[in-house]
Structure formats: C-alpha cells, structure tokens
Amino acid sequence: MKNVVCFGEVLWDLFPEGKKLGGAPLNVALRMKSWGLNSQIISSVGNDELGEEILMLIKQKGISTNYIQVNETFNTGTVSVTLNQNGSASYEINHPVSWDKIELNAQYEELINSSDAFIFGSLVARDPVSKKSLIKLLEFSKYNVFDVNLRPPHYSISDLELFMNLADFIKFNDEEIEEICSALGSTEESLEGQIHFISNKTNTRSICVTLGEEGAILLHQGNFYKQKGYPAIVKDTVGAGDSFLGTLLSLILDGKDANEALDKACGMGALVAQNSGANPHISEADLEDFMRQ
C-alpha cells in the first residue's frame, strides 16, 4: 500500500444551505484514501466546537487525526462559498486561522520520510508560520506534489516559483498556468508551450493542467496525454479539482497507465461537480457507471 501525506488547510466551506467539510489538502487525502492509499493529513484546527467537529468527521472517514494540531489562539478555518448560476464557486477565506499556524513537529519529519508522495497547495503558504514549516518538511520528502490554487490575494509569484522549483509534479488549471507563465516572462500562447516553459524553468517532469468541462492535459515521463471532459449537470465545482488530483495521483502511484489515470480523474472531477460539497462518497463502481453513461 502506498503512503501519502497532505499538508495544509482543513476547514468548513460555508454554503448558503450550511457548512460542509473542506480544504483542498484534506479533499485530496480523502479521495486518495477512497482509492485504497494510506492517507494522512498534517494541519491545525482551533480549540473550538468547529474544530472538534472536524476532528470527529475526519476520524469517521478513516483518516488519523494524530497529525492535526489544536491551536489555543486561532480559530478553526472557515470559507464563505458563493456559487454563480453555473455552479462555479468563489471564495472568501478568513485569515489568520488555525491552519495558518502549523508548527514543526519531529513526528511529521518521520511521517513524510516514509511516504511515497507529499502533497501541498499554494494557499497554506500565505502565512509565514505554516510556510516556514512547509519549506522545512519538503526536505524530507521523496516526491513533492504542488497543487496550485490561486486565491487572490493569498499568493505571490515569488512563492509560487519557489514551490514549483521544489516540486516533482505540479497541477494547475488553464487560467493559473497562463497567469503564472505571463508573470515569469513567457510569451508562449499554446497550452503545450506553457507547460514546456514551466517544465524547463523549474525542472519539473510531470505537469497537469485541468480544462474544466474540456478535460485535462498531462505531461508525464516526456509524453503528453490528453483527455476530453465528461458532461456534468453541475451542482457546484467545490472540490472537483481536488478529487481529480487525488484520483490521478492514486492511479499513477499505483502504476496505472497515464491515459487511464487521466481519464478516470476527469470522470471523477465531473462526478464530484454533480454533487454538493467537496467530498461526496463515490465508489469506483459509481465512477465506472458514470463514465459509461
């Protein structure tokens, strides 16, 4: 069994109809667990009712809470989610909150050193405390996966470049890679050209770009792979990209063909978007039924 560790935010997504468990690293960890991997999450919640409820839910979903700190000073994170008429989400992310203050711990180093992949996003680097811990922990990882999530104003190009240089695998959406390439001086207009630009500039061999309903493109082991998207009746897009990434990584780490992995990842992202919230229960049989239809 492969071991994976995700680092970063665990929080409540606040929808008009109520709160749902979320945070991109947690969403990825939960989806990878559903594929049979041993998933762990390093994070922090507040010493409050919202934090207690998060810890209880994570335990119920079969992931250990041993690596989630309880912060006595800062509250559990919340994000206000607004959906447009197409179900696309925009976010108002509170700062500072508990997951901004993840402190270093020796047991984290041992955990990451024994993992097959260490997955982190750009949002957790917005605060110097968690950012410092992340940079240190990256020294212990064999395989670093950087999930780019551009949430204005919570990022800087210099931080993005730092983490891209430390990554073995980077995931963007099409708008994110275009913005970052432009900021770094690229004049490439084609998506393949932008991917090659980032790959050459950061020495990253695996790069994936999601294209919404149009599917995704993956550069992996020197080859490009492309998959069309699956039509979906979108409820909301929250967490769809996280489940896409969790599925793609799970299958690649398991040695599956890259085309198959990308195809199932596209299917999973679409199926999550048809459900409410970031972490609907979806079995492999559910996914196969959806893809056949």
Residue 87 pLDDT > 80, yes or no?
no
Could you report the per-residue pLDDT of 162-214, keeping only the tens digit for each?
A: 999 999 999 999 999 999 999 999 999 999 999 999 999 999 999 999 999 99
Q: Does residue 71 sit in helix, strand or coil?
A: strand
User: Sorting pLDDT into bands at 50, 70 and 90, what band is 16?
Assistant: confident
Q: Are 74 and 46 in contact (CB under 8 A)?
A: yes
178: exposed, middle or buried (C-beta count within 10 Å: 0-12, 13-18, 19+)? Answer: middle
Residue written as token pair 């959806």: 290
CA 248, CA 240: separation in Å to the nearest integer? 12
Task: Give pLDDT, residue 240.
Answer: 95
Task: Give pLDDT, residue 244.
Answer: 98
Residue 44 pLDDT > 80, yes or no?
yes
State whether the Cα torsion 100-104-108-113 is positive or negative.
Answer: positive
Could you report the per-residue pLDDT of 265-274, keeping only the tens digit for each?
A: 999 999 999 9
The domain tally of the chain equals 1
The pLDDT mean for the chain works out to 96
For the domain that residue 181 is a member of, what is the CATH number?
Answer: 3.40.1190.20
Task: Give pLDDT, residue 76.
Answer: 98
Domain of residue 226: give its range: 3-292
Nearest to 121 by CA among 97, 155, 87: 155
State whether the Cα torsion 221-224-229-230 is positive or negative.
Answer: negative
Give the type of residue at 140: F
